[in-house]
Structure 1
Amino acid sequence: MIEAKKIYIFSPGLRLWHWVNFLTIMVLFFTGLYIGNPFFLGPTGVEATYAYREGLTMDFIRKVHFIAGYILLASFLFRIIIAVFNKRDRLVFPAVWKKDYWTSLKEITLKYAFIMRDTEGHEYIRNACARTVYPIVYFMIFFMIATGFAMYGMSKPGSFWSSLFGWLLGFLGGEFMVHMWHHWIAWLIIIFAVLHVYFVIREEAIKKNGELSSMFSGYKVFEREPVDIKDVEE
C-alpha cells in the first residue's frame, strides 16, 4: 500500500493573491465587455433613458473597471514581492533543454488524454504543462495592465500612465488596435481560467489529492514524492 504524503505548497500570500486576482479579473472582464458593447437586458430591464437614475451609467461602469485595474496592478506587484522573499512562491520557468521537462510533458499529455493512468509515471508539484502555461498567463496579465493603462492615459494626456505606457499606442498600431489586443488577450485569459477550473476538478475527482482545497489550506496530497519537491522546500 502506497503511503500518501501531504506537502505544504501554497503560502498564505499566494493564496490571497490567487483569490484577489480571480475576483478582479472577473470584474474587469464583465465590465470590459459592457464598455466595449453597452447593453440593457430584456424588455423589463432598465432603459437607457432611466439608466442614470438607477446608477447604471457608463461613467459608473468605467470607474468600477478602473478601480479593478488598479487592484490588478497592486496584486501583480504583490505577486512579484512574495516571489522574491519566499522560495515556494517563485515562478518556475520551463527547462525545455532538460530531458525531465519533455518526460513530464509527455506524461501529463497522456494522462489528460486518458491514455495513461494518473497513478503511473512521476509525481510533479508543477508539471511541464503548468511550467509552460503559467509564465504565459503572467505575461498576458502584465500585457492587460500595460494596454489598459495606456488607454486610460489617453483621457489624461501628460499623466504618469500616459508617459509610462503611451508608447504602446504607436507600437501596436494605434488606439483601435490597442483596444482589439486588449479584447483578444482578455478572452485568452478567460479561456485559460475555464480550462484551469476543469483540470483542477479533474485532478480532485480522479486523484482526490486536495487540489480543490489546496488554495484554502495550502496543502496537497501526493502518492509519491514529487520529482520537483526541492522547488517548495525552504
Structure 2
Amino acid sequence: MKRNMEFEFSAGLRWTHWLRAIAMVVLTVTGFYITYGFITPEASDEPILFLNAKFRMWHEIFGFLLIAITIYKTYLFFFDKTSAKERVSLRDCLSPTIWIKQIKYYLFMGEHPHLRGVYNPLQFAAYVGLYMMIFVLCVTGLILYVHCYQGGGIGLFLYDYMRPLEAMMGGLAMVREIHHIFMWGILIFLPIHMYLAMFNSIMGKEGAMDAIISGYKFLKNDHKH
C-alpha cells in the first residue's frame, strides 16, 4: 500500500531529544559514582588522581546541558510553530473516549484511535510526568551545586535563590534524597518509554520511531485528518 510522508518533529526537537538521552545516561553513571564511588584510581604519591572531582565535573556539565535542553524544549512546546501538533495533543489527552480506545489498543482489544496531535493520551501524560521529574532534578541539582561553588560565578549568583528552596525541602540531606528518588523515577520511565515507542512503531507501521530521527512519519493513503 502506498504511503505518504508527514513532517512531525523539527530538527531542534529531534536534536534535543537525543542530547537529553545522552545527558541522562551520563548523569546517571556519574551520579552513581558521586554517591557510591564504585571505582578507585590507581594508587599514586602525586596529588593528581582526583577521580571524584572529574566525575563531579562531568555531572555538572551534563546537568547544565539538561537544564538548557529543558528550557529550550519548553520554549518549543509553547511557542514553536512546527511544534503546534504537540500542543494539540493536550486536547486528545482530555478526551475520555480516546483514553479508553488507547488502552484497548495496548491490550490488543481495539484499533488505534484517531489522534489530532502527535502524542496519544498515555504518551502525553507520561511526558508531562517526565518534565515534572526533570524539573525537580534540575532544581535540586542546582541547590546541591551552589553549596560547592558559592565563591563566585553562577554558583554565587544562584546561592541566595536556592537557599530558600533548600529550607522548604527540609534541608540539604533531604534535597539530596529527593534528587536520588527522582533519578530512579527517570530510570523507571526510560525502559517503559522505549518499549512503548517500539510497540507503537511495530503495531502502527507508521515509522513512529523513524520520526524522531528523520522528522517524518509514514501515513496510509486512506489516513483521515
Give the TM-score of the pair, scaled to structure 1. Answer: 0.81
- 1:88 aligns with 82
- 1:103 aligns with 97
Alignment match of 1:155 (pick from 148, 156, 166): 148
Alignment match of 1:130 (pick from 123, 133, 145): 123
CA contact (8 A) 2:93 2:125 kept: no
CA contact (8 A) 2:41 2:49 kept: no
Partner letter of residue 75 of structure 2? I
CA contact (8 A) 1:5 1:225 kept: no
Q: Secondary structure at the match of 1:132?
A: helix
Q: CA deviation at 1:97?
A: 9.3
- 1:207 aligns with 204
Q: Structure 1 residue 112 and structure 2 residue 95: aligned?
A: no
For 1:163 and 1:157, the matched residues in 2 are separated by 9
Distance change in 2, residues 1:97/1:209 (3 Å): closer
Alignment match of 2:161 (pick from 134, 141, 164): 164
Q: Secondary structure at the match of 1:213?
A: helix
Q: Secondary structure at the match of 2:82?
A: helix
| Identity, % of aligned positions | 27
Q: CA deviation at 1:171?
A: 1.0
For 1:8 and 1:109, the matched residues in 2 are separated by 26
The one-character-per-residue Cα deviations of 1:102-148 (angstroms, maximum 9, x if unpaired) are: 11111111111222244xx4245311112222122112111111110
CA contact (8 A) 1:35 1:58 kept: yes
Distance change in 2, residues 1:191/1:88 (3 Å): farther
Q: Secondary structure at the match of 1:88?
A: coil
For 2:143 and 2:92, the matched residues in 1 are separated by 34
- 1:146 aligns with 139
5+ long unaligned stretches in structure 1: 41-45, 227-234
Pairwise CA RMSD of aligned residues? 2.7
- 1:58 aligns with 52
The 5-angstrom pairing of residues 167-206 of structure 1 reads 167-206=164-203
Partner letter of residue 114 of structure 2? H
CA contact (8 A) 2:101 2:111 kept: no
Number of residue pairs matched by the alignment: 216
- 1:31 aligns with 30
Distance change in 2, residues 1:97/1:220 (3 Å): closer
Q: CA deviation at 1:13?
A: 0.6
Q: CA deviation at 1:70?
A: 1.2
- 1:43 aligns with none
- 1:219 aligns with 216
For 2:48 and 2:206, the matched residues in 1 are separated by 47
Which contiguous aligned blocks of 4+ residues in structure 1 show a shift greater than 6 angstroms?
A: none
5+ long unaligned stretches in structure 2: none
Q: CA deviation at 1:198?
A: 0.5
Give the TM-score of the pair, scaled to structure 2. Answer: 0.84
The one-character-per-residue Cα deviations of 1:7-62 (angstroms, maximum 9, x if unpaired) are: 2110001001101111011111111111111112xxxxx56635x88957101100
